[in-house]
Amino acid sequence: MNNLNRGFSLRRLLAVWHARNLEFVRDRASLIFTVGVPVALVIAMGIIFGGPPRPLFKVGVLGPQQNYAFLHERYFQFVPEHNPAEAVHAVSRADLDLLLDLRGRPARYWSVQDSPKGYVAEKLLLQADPQAQRQPITGSAVRYIDWLFPGVLGMNMMFTCIMGAGYVVVRYRKNGFLKRLSATPVTAFEFLTAQVLSRLGLTLAITLILYLGVGTVIGFHSVGSPALLLLIAVLGCLSLIAFGLIIAARFASEELVGGMLNLLTWPMMLLSGIWFSLEGSPRWLQWLAQVLPLTHILHATRAVALDGAGIGGILPDLAYLGGTTLLFLGVGALTFRWRSD
């Protein structure tokens, strides 16, 4: 009550402001990450998205790419394809806007009729070659929103898992809770596993609400097994939570942990296929994307939800998520610090 009666003092405000600035500047790790992460993101995005203007349309090409006028259109990326069945499937799943077969004359093409980009690509193709023949796409074509919806759910899952679990542990360490807990028989692995399971339940509940609520509004209908989708969600959440706990297990500075968690999430935002497919991108970029847990979550989810894949079709993704969960938990337990000093 006495503090409320003292009135406002600019001098006290500036003293606290100065003390906080000194605290931040003296924390060299946090300072480096606060400055370094934005610079690193700018450099990374410059490498990924820099250079000449990016193509607006992605067209798969079967056969030789010579002496065909359409192949000289600007803002098109022409991707060589070698497996016709897989290429047609890529068109139906919005990984390609159009597929062009130049192995005979007249040329043949496949595109999704209700795709805006496919419609424009088809019009430009027919202007260059009026004799080109449309071919039917077997199976049901997928709307872009159907392809995008698993990515949005995966992005929300990523932030809930990595950020939520990371900041909780840092707060525990900073307020002394972990120091008191270290005097009990609880081991680091037991503590981290409990945090993983707690965050797992919360994330699954939020994801289920979004899946049912937003899915009903947009008319999203999964053709695969709900049990498989749940299994993917469980293993995906476990891997992402354990991924975030590697950082939180060691550090006590909220600024530093915030920077490092951003460093984990941004590559997944850009490379895991949330917003767009990496079909036709450089091989090294596709390889880098395969290292990220979210890539395997989205690949398995779309395979089950959109294509009706069984457990055999997504077994490599499930194995990767399970293996990384154990790996991340093990590394987190080995590097765990109970105290902030």
What is the Cα–Cα distance from 319 to 33, expressed in whole angstroms?
Answer: 33
pLDDT tens per residue across span 139-153: 556 777 788 888 888
SS3 per residue for 63-75: CCCCCCHHHHCCC
pLDDT value, residue 261: 77
pLDDT tens per residue across span 86-136: 888 888 777 788 999 998 888 999 987 777 788 888 999 999 889 999 988
Handedness of CA 138, 117, 306, 289 (dihedral sign): positive
pLDDT value, residue 229: 92
pLDDT value, residue 294: 92
- CA proximity to 240, closest of 317, 307, 321, 148: 321
- CA proximity to 234, closest of 164, 318, 150, 310: 318
> Residue 64: how many CB atoms within 10 A of its CB?
10
**pLDDT-derived band at 258, boundaries 50, 70, 90:** confident
What is the Cα–Cα distance from 267 to 258, expressed in whole angstroms?
Answer: 15
Query: Domains of the chain, with CATH numbers?
Result: 9-49 (no CATH), 57-134 (3.40.190.10), 144-335 (no CATH)
For residue 230, which amino acid is it? Answer: L
**pLDDT-derived band at 3, boundaries 50, 70, 90:** low
Tell me the average pLDDT of the chain.
80
By DSSP bridging, strand 98-101 and strand 133-134 are unpaired
Q: What is the SS3 assignment for 91? A: helix
What is the Cα–Cα distance from 127 to 236, expressed in whole angstroms?
Answer: 46
pLDDT higher for 78 or 32? 78
pLDDT tens per residue across span 219-231: 777 788 899 999 9
What is the Cα–Cα distance from 313 to 102, expressed in whole angstroms?
Answer: 31
Can you tell me the mean pLDDT for 197-216?
A: 85
What is the Cα–Cα distance from 173 to 250, expressed in whole angstroms?
Answer: 10
pLDDT value, residue 8: 59
For residue 86, which amino acid is it? Answer: E
CB 244 within 8 A of CB 161: yes
Model confidence at 154: pLDDT above 80: yes
Model confidence at 259: pLDDT above 80: no
- CA proximity to 180, closest of 172, 188, 171, 189: 172
**pLDDT-derived band at 36, boundaries 50, 70, 90:** low
Point out the least confidently predicted range of 23-32, 250-259, 281-290: 23-32
CB 326 within 8 A of CB 165: no
Exposed, middle or buried by CB within 10 Å (0-12, 13-18, 19+), for 266? middle
> Residue 51: how many CB atoms within 10 A of its CB?
8
- CA proximity to 95, closest of 126, 118, 63: 118
- CA proximity to 102, closest of 125, 127, 120: 125
Most confident of 69-83, 266-280, 325-339: 69-83
pLDDT value, residue 162: 82
pLDDT tens per residue across span 161-200: 887 777 777 777 777 777 887 787 877 777 777 878 888 8
Exposed, middle or buried by CB within 10 Å (0-12, 13-18, 19+), for 34? middle
- CA proximity to 241, closest of 327, 164, 318: 164
